[in-house]
Amino acid sequence: MGILLDLAYALAALCSAPWWMRKKRQDWRQRLGRIECPPCLEGPDGRRRVLLHAVSVGEVNCLRALVPMLTTDFDVVISVTTDTGIARAKALFDDSATVVRYPLDFSSAVRRFMNTVNPDLVFLAELELWPNFVRVCMKRNIPLVIGNGRLSDRSFKRYRAAKPILSRWFSGLAAIAAQDEVYADRFKQVGADPSRVQVLGSMKWDTAPTPGEPVEGAEQLGNELGIDRTRPLIVAGSTAPDEHALLHGATPDGVQLLCAPRRPEWFDDAARDLPNCVRRSDPGDGDASSDRFLLDTIGELRQAYALADIVVIGRSFGDLHGSDPMEPAALGKPIVMGNADADFRDAVKRLREAGGLAQIDRGSLKETLEMILGDDAKRAAMGSAALGCVRENQGASGRHAEVIRGLLPFIDK
């Protein structure tokens, strides 16, 4: 099975080479499973090792509350796939956990990786099932857990079509902690053991800062970009290429706009759609009198949200699937987003029903921004409702930690 998969991967890599060779790739040694990871120090308490896997920045961020809960009892290793995710994980967890690169799913790379990490349990944030990795975990009797689990509409269709092949993987999972009942039902439909599926909520609600506590680095970001704190600021987070011109045109006169594109390869196009914008990567090169700003860095979106008078959620006004509204909600910000919300449907619904989020179409964006920015009471009420909704839905990280402890009790080996 492993040899056939390796041949299929090699053929796919060869056929797609013109595409992936255009992108700058780092750490090929680590991508092939040659990583550095200190051995777990086994004292008299029989300390175990937990491997937490996060694909990119979003999944890394959702681990923020979980990791400190685990490091008291376990040795924690965090594996990440993308370059931006690696950078974010090191910024958050370098002092408390080991951060490594997740390998390509070639059997030899996976074996090398698992021999070095040697985990007692593997926790996959949201969903990231690769055949050889799953096969190695099952062969070595390593409990495999899906946490903060979700199956989007498009993923569900693919997994359901491949159920005859994939059901063995899902049925062998030690536990699946789904974000909501819809996702839990979908996991069952693709072959998961119903007795091992439970609904624990989304860990992303737990990223809220302490109420009233300033976000570290926010004021510095504003000062270095030259944002005028006496004038309103709209922050649009995780935006897509087709949204920057829309946002520029919909921003009321006299109001500042900061856009944070979702992907680095979208930065330059965004700069062209935001005339004379000041770029975070080189603020001195911009127009000091500009009221357009581009956050073309990774890991500073929370700081930007903290400066906002109103937040617009990106990837929601086109044909993508929405971005995360929970982080700005946790900062008590009024939120506006489009109708594309497939990746965060439950959170959007809860925030909308609480009164903290306005969901509109492209044609209503300018009018809605003018209305909210022109009504201080409305803006304050939306921000308060958003924060209240976050508080009501917190606690999932603690519930996930208990699932891990239940599968790997803290006992002598």
The predicted pLDDT at position 90 comes to: 94
Whether 121 is covered by a domain: the verdict is: yes
Query: Does a structural domain hold residue 260?
Result: yes
Q: Kindly state whether residues 372 and 293 are assigned to the same domain.
A: yes
**360 found inside a domain:** yes
144-149/121-125 β-pairing: parallel
**Contacts with 94 (C-beta within 8 Å, 6 or more apart), sequence order:** none
Mean pLDDT of 7-24: 57
Tell me what percent of the residues of the chain surpass a pLDDT of 90: 69
**Does 195 share its domain with 236?**
no
pLDDT at position 6, please? Answer: 54
Instruction: Note the pLDDT tens digit of each residue in 227-262.
Output: 999 999 999 999 999 999 999 999 999 999 999 999
Q: How confident is the model at residue 413 (pLDDT cuts 50, 70, 90)?
A: very low
Please determine, for residue 87, whether its predicted confidence score (pLDDT) is greater than 70.
Answer: yes
**Helix, strand or coil for residue 347?**
helix
Span 208-228, pLDDT tens digits: 766 567 889 999 999 999 999
Higher pLDDT pick, 185 / 285: 185
pLDDT tens readout for residues 373-407 = 999 999 999 999 999 999 999 999 999 999 999 99
Q: Do 180 and 164 share a structural domain? A: yes
Identify the CA nearest to 152 among candidates 322, 318, 327: 322
Phi/psi at 222 (nearest 5 deg)? -60, -45
- Give the model's pLDDT for residue 159: 85
Tell me, yes or no, whether 116 and 245 share the same domain: no
Report the CATH number that the domain containing residue 239 is assigned in CATH.
3.40.50.2000
Distance, CA of 84 to CA of 89 (rounded, Å)? 9
Token pair, residue 316, equals 């929601």
Under the banding of pLDDT at 50, 70 and 90, the label for residue 169 is: confident
User: Looking at the structure, do residues 47 and 63 belong to the same domain, yes or no?
Assistant: yes
CA angle (394, 177, 154) in 5-degree steps: 100
Q: Are residues 74 and 127 in the same domain?
A: yes
Based on the fold, state whether residues 242 and 349 are members of the same structural domain: yes
C-alpha torsion 299→178→96→210, nearest 10: 60
Q: Quote the pLDDT of residue 44.
A: 47
- My answer on whether 180 and 233 are in the same domain is no
Please list the alpha-helical segments (H only) found in 151-205: 153-161, 163-171, 181-189
What lies within 8 Å, CB to CB, of 256 at 6+ separation is 227, 228, 231, 232, 233, 234, 291, 292, 293
| Residue 6 forms part of a structural domain | no
Find which of 29-43, 127-141, 331-345 is predicted with most confidence, using mean pLDDT: 331-345
CATH number of the domain enclosing 95: 3.40.50.11720
3 falls within a domain: no
Q: Give the C-alpha separation, 304 to 218, whole Å.
A: 6
Q: Which residue has the tokens 């120090």?
A: 41
Give whole-number Cα distances, 88 to 14, 54, 60, 156, 397, in Å. 30, 11, 7, 28, 19
List the domain range (segments joined by +) for residue 192: 27-202+395-407
Asked if 179 and 156 touch (Cβ cutoff 8 Å), the reply is no
- Tell me: do 39 and 92 sit in the same domain: yes
Q: What percent of the chain has pLDDT over 70?
A: 90
Q: How many domains does the chain have?
A: 2
The answer to whether residues 375 and 402 belong to one domain is no
Asked if 108 and 7 touch (Cβ cutoff 8 Å), the reply is: no
Beta carbons of 105 and 367 less than 8 angstroms apart: no
Output the pLDDT for position 28: 74
Is the separation of the CB atoms in 9 and 130 below 8 Å?
no
Whether the predicted pLDDT of 17 surpasses 80 = no
Q: Are residues 302 and 198 in the same domain?
A: no
- Which of 37-51, 146-160, 197-211: highest mean pLDDT? 146-160
CB 289 within 8 A of CB 313: no
The mean pLDDT of the chain is 89
Q: Say if 293 falls within a structural domain.
A: yes
Question: Is the pLDDT reported for residue 30 higher than 60?
Answer: yes
pLDDT tier for residue 166 given thresholds of 50, 70 and 90: confident
The two tokens of residue 292 are 């357009």
Residues 165 and 247 in one domain: no
- For residue 302, being part of any structural domain is answered with yes
20 domain residue, yes or no: no
